[in-house]
């Protein structure tokens, strides 16, 4: 994925159409993965590293402080989801093998054959 920091309100709107990757709630925030590119503390990564989180999980993620660990504890590969979703949005065909599917949000995601 490009090292440029994308800024696109249109892409963030696209991300907000997905349910929360943790619980499946709709009406989400576009959370920027802090551990995607190490730009330095306080510098927001590009919008290509945004993922959908409900308000509760978005705040929980920020409170934790160790984001990489937080995602691992929740059993979701946010980096792979962000990269896959961004590539698809750009029109590339990427297999959905990294799409987060849990028992809580399976109704919101559709398994695709490769």
pLDDT in the model for residue 109: 42
Domain count for the chain:
1
Structure tokens at 74: 């929740």
- 1: in domain: no
- 65: in domain: yes
Half-sphere exposure of residue 114: CA atoms within 13 angstroms, side-chain side: 6
E strands present in the chain:
29-32, 50-53
List, in sequence order, every residue forming a beta bridge with 51; answer none if it has no partner: 31
- 76: in domain: yes
- 33: in domain: yes
Instruction: Tell me which residue of 65, 68, 91 sits closest to 80, measured CA to CA.
Output: 68
52 within 8 A of 29, measured Cβ to Cβ: yes
Whole-prediction pTM value?
0.73
- Condensed to tens digits (0 to 9), the pLDDT of residues 80-102 reads 999 999 999 988 544 444 444 44
Which residues form the domain of 24?
A: 9-108
- 91: in domain: yes
- 92: in domain: yes
Cα 101 → chain centroid: 13
pLDDT in the model for residue 40: 60
């Amino acid at each position: 994925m490009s090292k440029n920091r994308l800024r696109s309100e249109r892409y963030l709107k696209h991300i907000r159409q997905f349910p929360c990757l943790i619980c499946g709630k709709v009406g989400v925030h576009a959370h920027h993965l802090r551990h995607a590119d190490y730009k330095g503390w306080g510098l927001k990564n590009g919008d290509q590293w945004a993922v959908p989180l409900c308000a509760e999980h978005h705040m929980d993620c920020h409170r934790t402080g160790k984001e990489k660990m937080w995602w691992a504890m929740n059993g979701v590969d946010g980096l792979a989801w962000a990269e896959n979703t961004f590539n698809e949005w750009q029109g590339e065909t990427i297999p959905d093998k990294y799409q987060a599917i849990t028992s809580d949000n399976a109704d919101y995601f559709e398994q695709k054959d490769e």
